Amino acid sequence: MSNLNCGKLIATERIKLPVYTNATRPAGSIGELIYNDDEGTVQIYNGVEWQAAAKTNFEIFGGSVTSAAGYTIHTFLGVDTMQVTGSGPVEYLIVGGGGGGGMDMGGGGGGGGVVSGSTTLQEGTYQIQVGGGGAGAPAGNSNGQPASHQFTIGAANGGDSQFNGLIAKGGGAGGSSYFGYTPESAGANGGCGGGASGYSDGGFRSGGAGESGQGKNGGRGGPQYYSGGGGGTEDKGIDSTGQPNGG
């Protein structure tokens, strides 16, 4: 490596800086300049870390942008990226996909788990994943389901949603059909638990467990022909023997 020592450097066209990524950046000496290809910006080493060489206004790009009550809201509905320039505080709300409902006196699907809070974002690109809703159990004689007992295809959990290292779990599937058959009659665990099927042997079946801090349990099913409701963010699913409402 060569060193150039001078009181002032005047370039009439351009100066080429060494190009690095976040993974390949050197340890650095105070005052050194590089171009960071991951961040798309010139960075300077301040003696502790690499930072943007010029102060950048805090802005966020990506998603569907709306405004309400003085907030700028970026909404994401699938797999996407969010670009941040500068650094600043944000509030976030992450919701997992809801669980699918059961069939044959099946339980209700649980709601997606919810994670919310605030943090400070640094300049860079953030990966976002929004979980889809889980498939409901197909009716008899459709989509591969046998025409009559015993049924074999249950409902599916919702997909997880992720942002900045945080995960909101997908909702648990509702239980399906008779307790002794292949589709699980108890509700599945998830962000919010799925409700249990009401098609039992006369006993009760538990709803699925909700993820701690994200959602509540699904409702109990039974004693016979009364299914449980899917769990919600604030309340557990309604237990049988009532109408199978969600939480």
Q: Give per-residue pLDDT as tens, 135-163.
A: 999 998 999 998 988 888 999 999 999 99
Binned at pLDDT 50, 70 and 90, residue 236 comes out as very high
- The pLDDT value recorded for residue 2 is 66
- The pLDDT value recorded for residue 131 is 97
Q: Give per-residue pLDDT as tens, 156-201.
A: 999 999 999 999 999 999 999 888 777 888 999 999 999 999 888 8
- The pLDDT value recorded for residue 150 is 85
Stretch 109-133: mean pLDDT, rounded? 96
Q: Give per-residue pLDDT as tens, 79-114.
A: 999 999 888 999 999 999 999 999 999 999 999 999
Stretch 207-217: mean pLDDT, rounded? 97
Residues with Cβ < 8 Å from 220, sequence gap 6 or more? 196, 204, 205, 206, 207, 228, 239, 240
CB atoms under 10 Å from CB of 95, counted, come to 21
Residue 214 has pLDDT above 80, yes or no: yes
Residue 21 has pLDDT above 90, yes or no: yes
Stretch 1-21: mean pLDDT, rounded? 80
Residues with Cβ < 8 Å from 229, sequence gap 6 or more? 107, 108, 195, 218, 219, 237, 238, 239, 243, 244, 245, 246, 247
Binned at pLDDT 50, 70 and 90, residue 66 comes out as very high
3 state SS of 32: coil
DSSP bridge pairs for 120: 89
Binned at pLDDT 50, 70 and 90, residue 227 comes out as very high
The more confident residue out of 56 and 73 is 73
